[in-house]
Amino acid sequence: MPKRRIVEGNLFAALGLTFLAALATGIGSLISYFIPRPDLRYLSVSLGFAAGVMIVVGFVDLFCSSKVVMGFGYAGLFFLFGLILISLLDHLIPHIHLDGNVDASCNRLYQGGIMTAIGIAIHNLPEGMTVALVSMADIRLGIPVAIAIAFHNIPEGLACSIPLYCATSDRKRSCLLSFAAGMTEPLGAILAVLLLYPFLNAWLLAAASAMVAGIMVFISLDELIPIANKYGSEHLTNLGIIAGFFVMMIGLDLMQNF
C-alpha cells in the first residue's frame, strides 16, 4: 500500500515534468522568433550534456535496476524492444533534422516544415512516455531525464519553426505550429499512464524501465550526438557528454545516499 501511494504521488509530478519538457519546444520556437538567423553552435555542448545524462540514466540506473528485478535476459529483451520500437518510429515517421544551415532561398521549405512538425509531433510521443514511466518509477530520476529531453526539444522547435518562417514569413504561425508539435509529449505521458498505470507492479515497472533505457540510448546515439556535432564540433559534443556523465554519476551517488 505505501508503494502504491508513492506511485500515485509520482503520477502528477510525472505529468508535470513531461509538460515542462514539452515547453522546451516552444523555447526553440521563440529563439527563431527573435533571432533572424540563430547561430546554433552553442547548443553543441548542451546537447552533448543531455546525451551524457540520458546514457548514464539508461545504462547505469534503469537497465541495472531492471536486471535486479527480472534478470539480465528479460531486461536485455525489453531493452532491445525499446531500441527496435524507437528505431521503427524513426524510420517510418518523417523526421527532418536541422543542421544549422537554413536555405536562404526558402524554396520548398514549407512542405519540409510541415513534415518536420508532423514528425516531431509523433516522435515526441515515446519521449513523453519515457519521462512519465521513469518519473513514476523514481521521481528523482524523472527530473534529470525531463531536463535532458528538454535540451533535446529546443533544437526540435527550431527545426520546425525556421523552415516554416522562411516559407511563409509568418513568425507567429510558425511558432504556434512548432509549439503544438511539442505538446504531443504530454499526450504520450497520458497514454502511458492510461495503458500501464492500472497494472503497475514491480515486474512491469522493471520491464518498462528497461524498454525506456533502450529508447533513451537510441535517442542519444541517433539524435542528440549527431545533431550536436553538426551544431558545433565533435570536441564540444564530447565535452558535453563527459560533463553529463560526471554530473549524473555524482547525482546517482547522492540519490543512493539520500
**Model confidence at 170: pLDDT above 80:** no
What percent of the chain clears pLDDT 90, i.e. is strictly above it?
7
Q: Tell me the pLDDT tens digit for each residue of 132-162.
A: 878 877 777 788 888 878 877 777 777 677 6
**Model confidence at 3: pLDDT above 50:** no
Residue predicted with more confidence, 186 or 158: 186
163 and 109 Cβ atoms separated by less than 8 Å: yes
Q: What integer pLDDT is reported at residue 102 of this predicted model? A: 44
Please give the model's pTM, rounded to 2 decimal places.
0.66
CA 112 to chain centre: 22
Residue predicted with more confidence, 6 or 93: 93
Q: Average pLDDT for residues 164-175, to the nearest whole number?
A: 74
- CA gap 156, 142 in Å, rounded: 21
User: Of the segments 64-73, 91-100, 200-209, which one has the largest average pLDDT value?
Assistant: 64-73
Residue predicted with more confidence, 246 or 160: 246
Residue predicted with more confidence, 145 or 3: 145
Residue predicted with more confidence, 73 or 229: 73
Q: Predicted confidence band at 40 (pLDDT cuts at 50, 70, 90)?
A: low
**Model confidence at 8: pLDDT above 80:** no
Query: Of 97, 89, 88, which is closest to residue 115 (Cα–Cα)?
Result: 97
Task: State the chain's mean pLDDT as an integer.
Answer: 76
256: cell is 543512493
Of 9-18, 62-71, 163-172, the poorest mean pLDDT is in 163-172
93: cell is 515517421
174 and 168 Cβ atoms separated by less than 8 Å: yes
Length of the chain (residues): 258
**Model confidence at 252: pLDDT above 60:** yes
Q: Average pLDDT for residues 234-256, to the nearest whole number?
A: 81
Of 74-83, 151-160, 205-214, 217-226, the poorest mean pLDDT is in 151-160
Q: Output the CA torsion 52→56→58→64 (10° steps).
A: 170
Residue 112 CB partners (closer than 8 Å, separation 6+): 96, 163
Residue predicted with more confidence, 112 or 99: 112
Q: Predicted confidence band at 73 (pLDDT cuts at 50, 70, 90)?
A: very high
Q: What integer pLDDT is reported at residue 108 of this predicted model? A: 53
